[in-house]
Amino acid sequence: MLLSLVSIAVVAGAVFYSAVREHSELYSRYVESDLNALSDNMANDLIAVLNEPNYFFDLKRYLLSLEPYPNVIGAAVYDPEWNVLEIYAGAALLNQSEFEEVEFSYWDTRQPGMYRQDDHLIAVKRIGEPTLVFGYLVIINDLNGPIRDSRTTLALRILPVALAVMLVLMGLFYFQASRWLWPLTRLSQFARQVQETKDYSLQIRESGKYEVSSLTRDINNMMDAIRLESEINQEYVELLEQRREEMEYLANYDSLTRLVNRQCFMTLLERSIAEIKPQQGDLTVMFVDLDGFKVVNDTLGHEVGDKLLAEVAVRLKKFVPTEDVVSRHGGDEFLVLSHEAPMDMPLLAEQIVKGLSEIFVINNWEIRIGASVGIARASESGYDMHDLIRNADVAMYNAKSMGKSRYSFFNPEMLEGYQRRIDIANAIDQALSHDEFILYYQPKVTSEGQVIGAEALIRWQSHTLGFVSPGEFIPIAEQAGKITAITEWVIEQVCKDVQEYFSKLPQKVPVSVNLSSYDLKKFYFPDFIKSTFDKYEIPTELLEFEVTEHSYLDNLDLANSFFRDIALLGCRVALDDFGTGYSSLSYLTKIPIDVIKIDKQFVDDIGASARDDALVLTIIEMARKLGMDLCAEGVETKSQRDFLAVHGCRVMQGYYFARPMTLEKFREYMATQAA
Ligand code: C2E
Ligand code: CA
Ligand code: CA
């Protein structure tokens, strides 16, 4: 469009230029003929003037008649011999001498005629006839001035019209061009609209012909494709967003209880501590650990256990102010971050302990558990998040050891016990590598005193910690994941002792090894036992294993497959501490158990009341009916022995007969027995 407009302007300019040129040409010709006529007339008139006797004065006056002609520069009259008679200097000339300075081209020929020289038009006329010459007349006319003037006049007259025409033309052209381009302009506007609104559902009405309409159609199709694509995209984005939220939820929340998880709790705690630390403010962390949860999980199953945890979470949230944070720390442990004033904490802890000890009803089971709560303050823990949680944990542990279902505030003395647990856990590795463990054997005897077995019981004389009882370090080893290494050591040692001693005894004295429930979870364990037997080439029936009910109830299938492997090896299995696991008895029919060991607590109660006695009798009766052997643990008195013997429990173990002893002592013991 610009190119066209420029072209129009150029053409218009060219037309204007040539018009002006043409005009100049015409005008100069007109001026020439005008001058010709004027000079002819004057030459005629001058015949009469020159014929006067005293013509000088008349001549001067006559030449002055040129005054009205502004373009006449000057004029001169000569005699026939070309001597100047009179000179007239016109408006354009200042004086006569200037006129004389002008060099004229006709001067050489001195012929009458019209001449053009530079910007001048010169008329040279003869005065009189060729045969009778009176003189000559020369008139010099300015040619440029008049042409310029006339050109200006013309331009002033033409230019507005030309400009107007050009503008109209341009307008028309622009209008027409816009009309032609309108379909494209529409498309461009449409594209801009889409760009601005981001609305891909827009469509443009089809119009125009041929290419334009097909372009419009194509654009509409493209819009459809984009809309479809962006809809898919939108769905995808929503899905991603949903996923991200889910991930965030998973990362920060516990899916079972819908409480914040440990990681999120740590972040919140860290932030809160950073906030209060500069002003030496305070906050509290409560460590809540359920009492008896494991039993529920073991006896009623994981589904009930899970629901119970969720219910516990609901109750906890009810007691704790909304601005405080309740989180599941793992397993049956919960953490509460509280901003309550220290003096309000006992009340809150009380509420939690009491609230969680009330009955839960889950799947129609009425379940009673409890909670032990440890409380620690940030200011007492050096504003260190990890120390703070540890202190709450230590206080909780203290509450547990004080008898559970209670709360306990942290105090630094408690760290000693905690430290001891850590020391014990750390010292176990060294104990294994430095042979600090030894095995004691406690005889299992018949009521008549005949030794028919022995239980291997571990002892630890630590170089750093002194004597540590198995009751103390075994649970710690279990928690620290070191129990299996210990069990492996025990089995190896027992096999050595059996090979060296027990297998050489005249009568059969099998040795029992205590297994932890953690050992049963090690899939390689049966293979380990078998390869150790092979290594020491001992008869497998000289080994027995004792497991507690927990080992079973943790995972019945796993335990069953484990004990089937053990049975295949030819070893017997005893159920240790029978009666302490709060278990339902029905599982007894489902597991491959050879011996039931009546727990010491039942034996202790023999003779205390008729009901206690009845309980022992029931266990004896039950074992007989199930075809299982019996062994009573912890027999300390003659009356206990007698009661058990009379009622058919043949095998016993206890201080009344013998304490656990070194292998050396055991040899001596066996020797005296034989004697
Ligand atoms: P347990 O398996 O029930 O072992 C019997 C415990 O009762 C032994 O305690 C034994 O010394 C003690 N005892 C036996 N007769 C009497 C008695 O007449 N009166 C009293 N008051 N106690 C008696 P110990 O050796 O201190 O072991 C405690 C527990 O540590 C064991 O209970 C067992 O659960 C565990 N344990 C001991 N040695 C090992 C081991 O080698 N491996 C594993 N996994 N656990 C072991
Ligand atoms: Ca045992
Ligand atoms: Ca026992």
Ligand 1 proximity of 234 Cβ (cutoff 6 Å): no
| Closest residue CA from atom 11 of ligand 1 | 660
State whether the beta carbon of 471 lies less than 6 angstroms from ligand 1. Answer: yes
- Whole-number pLDDT of residue 127: 92
pLDDT score at 475: 92
The first and second tokens of residue 398, run together, are 């203290």
Q: What residues form DSSP beta bridges with 50?
A: none
What pLDDT does residue 102 have? Answer: 66
CA-based max dimension of the chain: 205
Question: Helix, strand or coil for residue 510?
Answer: coil
* Cα of 416 from ligand 1 centre, angstroms: 25
Residue 103 pLDDT = 63
**In 3-state terms, what secondary structure has residue 503?**
helix
Residue 403 is encoded by which pair of tokens? Answer: 């008898």
Side chain identity at residue 618, one-letter code: T
Ligand at shortest distance from the CA of 546: 2
Element (H, E) at 125: strand 120-128
- The pLDDT, as a whole number, for residue 379 is 94
Q: How many residues does the chain have?
A: 675
DSSP string for residues in 194-207: HHHH--TT------
Cβ density class 541-557: b for 16+ within 10 Å, e for less: ebbbbbbbbbbbbbbee
pLDDT score at 376? 96
What was the pLDDT predicted at 96? 65
Cα four-point dihedral sign 525, 530, 533, 539 = positive
475 lines ligand 1 (CB under 6 A): no
Sign of CA dihedral 373, 374, 379, 385: negative
Question: How far is it, in rounded angstroms, from Cα 389 to Cα 402?
Answer: 20
Closest residue by CA, ligand 1 atom 37: 457
What is the pLDDT at residue 583?
61
**Taking the alpha carbons of 416, 417, 419, 423 in that order, is the dihedral positive or negative?**
positive
Question: CA-to-CA distance for 641 and 517, rounded, in angstroms?
Answer: 30
> Is 452 in contact with 445 (CB distance < 8 Å)?
yes
| Cβ 470 under 6 angstroms from ligand 1 | yes
Top mutation candidate among 424, 445, 514 for ligand 1, by most atoms within 8 Å of CB: 514
Q: What is the rounded distance in angstroms from the CA atom of residue 609 to the CA atom of residue 652?
A: 21
- Residue 131 per-residue DSSP state: S
**Mode of pairing for the β-strands spanning 629-632 and 595-598:** parallel
CA distance 247 to 245: 5
Q: For the segment 459-501, what is each residue's pLDDT rounded down to a tens digit?
A: 999 999 999 999 999 999 998 899 999 999 999 999 999 999 9
Q: Distance, CA 619 to ligand 1 centroid (Å)?
A: 21
Taking the C-alpha atoms of residue 604 and residue 462, their distance in angstroms, rounded to an integer, is 31
- Domains of the chain plus CATH, in order, are 30-151 (3.30.450.20), 262-412 (3.30.70.270), 422-674 (3.20.20.450)
Give the closest ligand to the alpha carbon of residue 581.
3
Q: Quick one: which of 594, 456, 567 has its CA closest to 512?
A: 456
Q: Is 458 in the pocket of ligand 1 (CB under 6 A)?
A: yes
Ligand 1: does its nearest atom lie under 6 Å from the Cβ of 655? Answer: yes
Give distance in angstroms: CA of 621 to centre of ligand 2. 22
Report the atom number in ligand 1 closest to the C-alpha of 653. Answer: 15
DSSP reduced 3-state for 246:
helix
> Which parts of the chain sit beneath pLDDT 50?
none
Rounded distance, CA 258 to CA 254, Å? 5
What spacing in Å lies between the alpha carbon of 580 and ligand 3's midpoint? 10
Supply the pLDDT for residue 508: 94
β-strand pairing of 451-462 with 466-468: antiparallel
pTM of the complete model: 0.59
